[in-house]
Amino acid sequence: MVLTEMPTKLEPTLQGLRVALDVQHLFRDPPHEKDRGAVFRVPVEGYAKGMTIRETDVTTAYVDAAAAMIAARGGRAFTNDVARGVMVGPYSRRHRAAASWAVHAYVACHVNAGGGSYALALFNRHAPRGRAFAQALARAMRDVAVMQPGAPIIDHVARAVGPGDRGWSCIGGFGVTERPETPAAAIFEPCFGDNPRHHGLILSPGPSQVIALGLVRGLEAWWKAARSAQ
What is the pLDDT, as a whole number, of residue 3? 47
Closest by CA to 94, choosing from 110, 75, 112, 81, is 81
Average pLDDT, integer, range 61-68: 95
Average pLDDT, integer, range 81-106: 93
What is the pLDDT, as a whole number, of residue 38? 95
Tens digits of per-residue pLDDT, 119-137? Answer: 999 998 877 779 999 999 9
| Segment among 42-46, 98-102, 208-212, 225-229 with least mean pLDDT | 42-46
Closest by CA to 145, choosing from 105, 184, 199, is 199
Share above pLDDT 90 across residues of the chain, in percent, rounded to a whole number? 65
**Number of residues that this document lists for the chain:** 230
Tens digits of per-residue pLDDT, 6-48? Answer: 555 678 999 999 999 999 999 999 999 999 999 998 877 767 6
Closest by CA to 140, choosing from 20, 1, 42, 3, is 3
Q: Which CATH number fits domain 18-228: 3.40.630.40, 3.40.630.10, 3.20.20.10, 3.40.190.10?
A: 3.40.630.40
pTM assigned to the model: 0.91
What residues does each domain of the chain span? 18-228
Closest by CA to 214, choosing from 139, 112, 154, is 139
What is the pLDDT, as a whole number, of residue 140? 97
Give the angle 94-77-172 at the CA atoms, nearest 5°: 30
More confident residue, 151 or 180: 151
